[in-house]
Structure 1
Amino acid sequence: MYQFPNGFLWGAAASATQTEGAAELDGKAQNIWDYWFEIEPERFYEGVGPKNTSDFYKYFKEDIERMKAVHLNSFRTSISWSRLLPDGIKVNKKAVDFYNQLIDELIQHDIEPIINLFHFDMPLHMQEKGGWESLEVVEAFNFYAKTAFELFGDKVKKWTTFNEPIVPVEMGYLNNYHYPCVIDMKRAVVVAYHSMLASAKAVKTYRDLSQDGQIGIILNLTPSYPRSQSKGDIEAAKIADLFFNRSFLDPSVLGEYPTDLVELLRTHDLMPEVNQIDLELIKENTVDFLGVNYYQPRRVKEKEANTTKTDSILPESFFDPYIWPDRRMNPYRGWEIYEKGLYDIATNIKDNYGNIPWYVAENGMGVEGEERFKDEKDMIQDDYRIEFYEEHLKWLHKAIEEGSNCFGYHVWTFIDNWSWLNAYKNRYGLYRIDLNTKQRYMKKSGLWFGDVAMHNGF
């Protein structure tokens, strides 16, 4: 038996834009995804945008019943900034009613709500002001955070500021995968820094309100493994770790940026404008807990050709990707499956980040064309997903046995959800959705995970 600690949180994760639908209903303003789909629908898989998704806005009560049926005791989702404050200032009463009903319904079913403030869904009018490049938007986010805390903080006892703040940086300012599709390392660094500043301000605002809960942040951590123990390979892995993990992990938990990262940015003229007051704010407002999203590792080797002297520096200018000969792949998503990575993350948090309380905020396996695995009763026999969860949980259990301060495990996701440009190409849910009828059907993995949650182990 792999038994987990008493009170362990078993749950699932989602976000507003990926599940709610109702993108044009009840006073919600456009976010960047609504707008981008409007102007470039061909960028989205099969032309499916965020307008309807799985309609959680409409079906949340029935879906929470389904969560209870598989014994979840926690659920993490986000508030839509553009739904709660359509113009950035005035509260949308219909949004307040919806989120209050959602939170109440979860609590009535003994499912703890973990509420996140920002999950990639910048309001369009805020993006037009510069998005996270703008300090005005940083202040606007703090107003939004304060509004949410005051409205729902009497019931919500676990908040997070951001989900995966590296993703808007990496996909929106270093790649062409998220709006605004900018490729500019210097602007990307500004976006990353201002995201951390916004997070710290929200943490301070929460504490100033003296509410009796906790506030954290959710980071997607990708352990960086060198090809070999050569000096060049180890340095490459160290730089990858600085850019993709420690740039958010260190200021969030330790209150300061790694010296090596600062020196690297300064050397290549990539430093954002900073002031001592803001650095003190980051220092004094670290998080209470950490959420960790883990899907795959990063394997790197020494850069074969020096490209750091060009005008177009990117993180990949400092290392090359490395394909490990023994790797196992999820061929649908193109990601390596490496369960031990979760143990290595847990060990790193324990050894280098004060063993801060943390939980697995996302872990999951996206598979294309799952319909072919349906049995005669219309249940998808997703044994591959059960194996994926089971092997990760074994490594997590080992880390907890060795003293890691992990308090929960959330799968991505509860019901197949809309996934940015991929829409519904890869399915992740414990329940599948029929996009035509919006009917939900439990998968075999839902039965399995429900059994794990009920017995607090397997």
Structure 2
Amino acid sequence: MMTFELPKNSKMLQPEFTFGVATAAFQIEGATTEDGRCESIWDRFCSLPGKVLNGDDGTEACDHYHRLEQDLDLIKELGFDAYRFSVAWPRIEPAEGEWNELGFAFYQRLIDGLIERGIKPYLTLYHWDLPQYLEDKGGWINRETAYRFVDYAEKITQRFGDKVACYTTFNEPWCAAFLGYRRGEHAPGLAEDRLGFQAAHHMMLAHGLALPKMRKAAPKAKHGIVLNFMLAYANSDSAADVAAAHYCNEENNYFFLDALLNAQYPESIWQKHPDWRPMMLPGDLAIINTEMDYIGINYYSSTLIKAGSDGADYDFGESELPKTDIGWAIYPKALTETLVNYKKRYPNFPAVLITENGAADNTPIVDGKITDDMRSQYYADHLLALNDAIEAGVDVQGYFAWSLMDNFEWAFGYSQRFGIVHVDYQTQQRTIKKSGLEWQRFLKARSR
């Protein structure tokens, strides 16, 4: 039987360390046209032919909007300390400057329901579902969107205050900006390098502008941002491959961290591509460089990088590592090295939360059971890798498994299952998988 095991003296076994599970609004809620919610960029993107596998969309998803109590009971049954969820901006502000009480009420029930069950609420303000009416004005290419985000963030924190244990401004701005505006793989589907960096800058600006107002409205809560990282390793020891991997990390990882922690962007990017430099105003980087209580890190995989061909800055190597069902390499050591590297590079690196970690394991349900051993092994190995980082001196305060349940996996539709709870999308029946039962055993043993 697969078991999660940590050294008996691990800080992760102490009661102050938080274990949670995570989801995101568009991926689970459904009810996309109910109770005043407006269209989001992901509703629009899903309606475009060929953008999402099998033409899937979020119309029903996991029907969490109507099954809230059942799902909160499930989190309690599994034994998690905290639940990381996101608020759907289109539910809260369905037209610019109009605030929807039915939207607020849903999240009020969610937060109060968590607290009643002894579960700490961790709220993410932006998990990619921008109201379409803002995209119609340019979305994150338009600097004005940053100021609209500040209004939204202030309304949420004023309403829920310190009932929420931890607020996140943005989840994975790399994905929202680069996949959405630079590569065209995510909503809104634009594909221009310059636009990707401009969108990223405006998201970082929105974060910096919002955080002081959020802290004022909820002074006892923690406040920060969540970034995703895929550590780039050189495909070989050649100088060209090493240089390519270094640049890949600068462009995709340090771009965000340097702005947040050092009030600058890596100059190596603009040296190669001066036309990618975003338009910004004096003082923007100082605003972005605001104090945070934590940085959330979403980690799934690593990547191999080699010298680029045909004028490319870098190409991707072919890893021989085992892979999850979505095709991502499994390399737990990269989680340790990511954390240790950042602690060395940034003396001011704040406390860390591992806000997402998990695996796509599409093991089917057989006789009412899902024996997802690959996912269980993935979690077991990554918990040990995280413990190694803590022993190396990294201040990690919590870990969130992705995800509570199978859900809409963006451009992959419903083809990839990340949940520790299986969802039958025809009946909406929830079934705890073997990995979920393992989490339940681990958390129960820890609380003794």
Query: Cα distance, 1:91 vs. partner?
Result: 1.1
Matched, 1:279 2:285: yes
Alignment equivalent of 2:21, drawn from 12, 22, 28: 12
For 2:416, the aligned partner's letter is: N
Query: Cα distance, 1:421 vs. partner?
Result: 2.2
Residues 355 and 405 of structure 1 are in contact (CA less than 8 Å); yes or no, is this contact kept in structure 2? Answer: no
Residues 270 and 276 of structure 2 are in contact (CA less than 8 Å); yes or no, is this contact kept in structure 1? Answer: no
- Cross-structure match for 2:165: 157
Matched, 1:27 2:45: no
1:23–1:243 distance in 2 versus 1, CA, 3 Å: same
**RMSD of equivalent CA atoms:** 1.8
Matched, 1:242 2:235: no
Query: Cα distance, 1:187 vs. partner?
Result: 1.4
Which stretch shows the higher mean deviation, 249-258 or 273-282? 249-258
For 1:274, the aligned partner's letter is: M
Count of aligned residue pairs for this structure pair: 438
Residues 178 and 200 of structure 2 are in contact (CA less than 8 Å); yes or no, is this contact kept in structure 1? Answer: no
Distance in structure 2 (CA, Å) of the matches to 1:51 and 1:168: 20
Alignment equivalent of 2:89, drawn from 77, 81, 88: 81
Alignment equivalent of 1:169, drawn from 153, 162, 177: 177
Query: Cα distance, 1:39 vs. partner?
Result: 4.2
Alignment equivalent of 2:144, drawn from 119, 133, 136: 136
Residues 350 and 405 of structure 1 are in contact (CA less than 8 Å); yes or no, is this contact kept in structure 2? Answer: no
SS in 1 for 2:276: coil
Per-residue CA deviations over 1:123-161 (Å, capped at 9, x if unaligned) read 100000101000111111111111111111131131011
Query: Cα distance, 1:46 vs. partner?
Result: 3.2
Per-residue CA deviations over 1:368-413 (Å, capped at 9, x if unaligned) read 3x22x52x3x110111111010011111111112221111111110
Distance in structure 1 (CA, Å) of the matches to 2:393 and 2:447: 17
Query: Cα distance, 1:323 vs. partner?
Result: 1.7
Distance in structure 2 (CA, Å) of the matches to 1:111 and 1:48: 32
SS in 1 for 2:283: helix
Distance in structure 1 (CA, Å) of the matches to 2:162 and 2:291: 22
Distance in structure 2 (CA, Å) of the matches to 1:186 and 1:141: 22
Residues 385 and 445 of structure 1 are in contact (CA less than 8 Å); yes or no, is this contact kept in structure 2? Answer: yes
- Cross-structure match for 1:366: 360
Per-residue CA deviations over 1:326-373 (Å, capped at 9, x if unaligned) read 42222x3111111111101121232223342111111111133x22x5
Residues 159 and 215 of structure 1 are in contact (CA less than 8 Å); yes or no, is this contact kept in structure 2? Answer: yes
Distance in structure 1 (CA, Å) of the matches to 2:442 and 2:84: 18
Unmatched segments (≥5 aa) in structure 2: none
Query: Cα distance, 1:262 vs. partner?
Result: 4.4
- Cross-structure match for 1:121: 129
Distance in structure 2 (CA, Å) of the matches to 1:191 and 1:105: 35
Alignment equivalent of 1:356, drawn from 350, 355, 373: 350
Residues 292 and 350 of structure 2 are in contact (CA less than 8 Å); yes or no, is this contact kept in structure 1? Answer: no
Which stretch shows the higher mean deviation, 169-178 or 393-402? 169-178
**Percent of aligned pairs sharing the same letter:** 31
Alignment equivalent of 2:316, drawn from 305, 321, 338: 321
1:357–1:129 distance in 2 versus 1, CA, 3 Å: same
For 1:191, the aligned partner's letter is: A
Query: Cα distance, 1:49 vs. partner?
Result: 1.0
Matched, 1:338 2:331: yes
1:195-214 correspondence to structure 2 within 5 Å: 195-209=203-217, 211-214=219-222
- Taking structure 2 as the reference length, the TM-score comes to 0.93
For 1:328, the aligned partner's letter is: P
Matched, 1:93 2:86: no
Query: Cα distance, 1:114 vs. partner?
Result: 0.8
Distance in structure 2 (CA, Å) of the matches to 1:279 and 1:265: 20
Which stretch shows the higher mean deviation, 49-58 or 204-213? 204-213
Residues 19 and 55 of structure 1 are in contact (CA less than 8 Å); yes or no, is this contact kept in structure 2? Answer: yes
Residues 294 and 351 of structure 2 are in contact (CA less than 8 Å); yes or no, is this contact kept in structure 1? Answer: yes
Per-residue CA deviations over 1:242-279 (Å, capped at 9, x if unaligned) read 1111111222233332343444443xx22122222222
Unmatched segments (≥5 aa) in structure 1: 308-316
Alignment equivalent of 1:406, drawn from 396, 406, 412: 396
- Cross-structure match for 2:276: 270
Following superposition, which runs of at least 4 residues in structure 1 exceed 4 angstroms of deviation? none
SS in 2 for 1:28: coil
Distance in structure 1 (CA, Å) of the matches to 2:297 and 2:218: 26
Query: Cα distance, 1:168 vs. partner?
Result: 2.1
- Taking structure 1 as the reference length, the TM-score comes to 0.91
For 1:162, the aligned partner's letter is: F
Matched, 1:289 2:282: no
Residues 126 and 137 of structure 1 are in contact (CA less than 8 Å); yes or no, is this contact kept in structure 2? Answer: yes
Distance in structure 2 (CA, Å) of the matches to 1:193 and 1:137: 11
Distance in structure 2 (CA, Å) of the matches to 1:213 and 1:253: 21
- Cross-structure match for 2:305: 300
Distance in structure 1 (CA, Å) of the matches to 2:197 and 2:447: 42
Residues 161 and 218 of structure 2 are in contact (CA less than 8 Å); yes or no, is this contact kept in structure 1? Answer: no
Matched, 1:385 2:379: no
SS in 2 for 1:102: helix
1:414–1:82 distance in 2 versus 1, CA, 3 Å: same
For 1:271, the aligned partner's letter is: R
Residues 183 and 193 of structure 2 are in contact (CA less than 8 Å); yes or no, is this contact kept in structure 1? Answer: no
Residues 76 and 114 of structure 1 are in contact (CA less than 8 Å); yes or no, is this contact kept in structure 2? Answer: yes
Per-residue CA deviations over 1:164-183 (Å, capped at 9, x if unaligned) read 10112222223232233222
For 2:313, the aligned partner's letter is: F
